[in-house]
Structure formats: structure tokens, C-alpha cells
Structure 1
Amino acid sequence: MKIGELSHLTGVSVRSLRHYEKKGLIASVRLPNGYRDYSPLTTETVDTIKLYLNLGLTTEQIAAFLTCVLKNKEAFCAEVLPVYRKKLADIEHQLKQLDQIKTNLIDRINSLQQEEQVKNE
């Protein structure tokens, strides 16, 4: 199938599909006219890539275990769990940072409101 059809079937833009191919996540055969030709199984691969992207993983992280996951169940791929743990740790760190930023903003708002009240008295 051509890239436009793959895009239509998966809901992924042609640009993203080209990016996935550049990263080695999907492969195509070049037809004599230069068009990409994808296997029908590529739709499953793209759906799997979408799942992992929605978990916040990068294409580099996905590339590290994608072949294993497509051949086996995720539970049989030793490479997956460390990536999940690292991603969760990163998210927890970001949440702490965001909580600190939120606290700082609340403090600034309260400070400015107090200054405004003093000014208006």
C-alpha cells in the first residue's frame, strides 16, 4: 500500500510516517516510480507505535524494543520495563517541579493581592 493509504488507515500523517521510516520503526519497498510501498502488516506496527507515543515515549525508546513487542507479547520483552520505569520517574520529577512552580505562583499572586489591598486602604 502507498503512504497515503497507510496514513488514511492509521490516522497518522504522511509526514509522521516518513519520520517513523527514517527512525527505522517502519520499512517500505521503493517501487520503480520511487513511491513507497508498505506491507499491510505495517498498519499494526503504526498502531503499536501510536500506543507507545501516547505513553510519552520517544521514537528512540520505542525503536529499542519495537521488534520484540511485535514478535512477542510485551511481557516477554525485557527491554520494555526499564523504559517504563524511567519514564515514570521522569514524570514524577516533572510533577514535583510543576508543583513547586504552582506554589511559587500562588505565593506571588497572594503577595501582589496583599500589596494591592494595602494600596487601596
Structure 2
Amino acid sequence: MKIGELSEKSGVSVRSLRYYEQQGLLQPGRLMNGYRMYHPFAVEQVKTIQFYISLGLSTEQISSFLHCVMVNKESFCTEIMPIYQQKLAEVDAQIAMLTSIKSNLEDRIRYMREESEAVQKKEDDK
């Protein structure tokens, strides 16, 4: 199938498919006229790539284990566990940072409301 057909069947843009090819995640064949030709299996491969992207993994990380996952069950691909653990640590750090930002914003909002109420009370007392 050609790249447009793969795009339609997988729901992924032609631009993304070309990017996946540049990153080594997809390896289409080429016709004599230079057109890309994808195996029907490529639809499943693209959906698998999209799944791992939805987990927040980079295409570089995905390329390190994609072949294994496409051939075996994920649990047999030992390359994945350290990547998952690293990503989980990154997510935990982001949550901690966002929790801190949220707390700081809540403090600032509370302070501004208290200041505003104090000013309003002084004006009302006049």
C-alpha cells in the first residue's frame, strides 16, 4: 500500500509517517518510480508506535525496542523495563514540580484575595 493508504488506514498523517521513516521506525520498500510501498503489517506497526508515543516515549526510545515488540510480546522485551522506569521517574518529577507550582499559585491567589478584602474593608470603614 502507498503512504496515503497507510495514512488513511492508520489515522496518522502522511507527515508523521515520513517522520517515523526518518527515525527508523518504518521501513517501506520503494517502487521503481520512487513511491513508498508499505506492507499491510505497517498499519499495526503505526498503531503500536502511536501507543508508545501516547505513553510519552520518544521515537528514539521506541526505536530501541519496537522490533522486539512487533515480533514478541512486550513482556519478553527486556529493553522496555528500564525505559518505562525512567519515564515513570520523569512523570513523578513533573508531578512534584506541578504540585509545587499549584501550591505557589494557590498561595498567591489567597494572598491577593486577602489584600483585596483588607483594602475593601478599609474603604468600607471610611
TM value normalised by structure 2: 0.93
1:1-121 matched pairs, under 5 angstroms: 1-121=1-121
Deviations 1:43-82 (A, max 9, x none): 1111110111111111011000001111111111110011
- State the AA in 2 paired with 1:42: A
Q: CA RMSD in A?
A: 0.7
Deviations 1:16-67 (A, max 9, x none): 0000000000011121222111111111111110111111111011000001
Shift >4 Å, 4+ stretches: none
Whole-angstrom CA distance in 2 between matches of 1:40 and 1:69: 17
SS in 1 for 2:25: coil
Matched pairs, number: 121
Whole-angstrom CA distance in 1 between matches of 2:109 and 2:100: 14
SS in 2 for 1:102: helix
Mind listing any 5+ residue stretches in structure 2 that lack a counterpart? 122-126
- State the AA in 1 paired with 2:22: K
Deviations 1:71-101 (A, max 9, x none): 1111111100111111111001000000000
Whole-angstrom CA distance in 1 between matches of 2:27 and 2:42: 8
Mind listing any 5+ residue stretches in structure 1 that lack a counterpart? none
- State the AA in 2 paired with 1:67: H
TM value normalised by structure 1: 0.97
Select the structure of larger CA radius of gyration: 2
How far apart are 1:8 and its partner, in Å?
Answer: 0.4
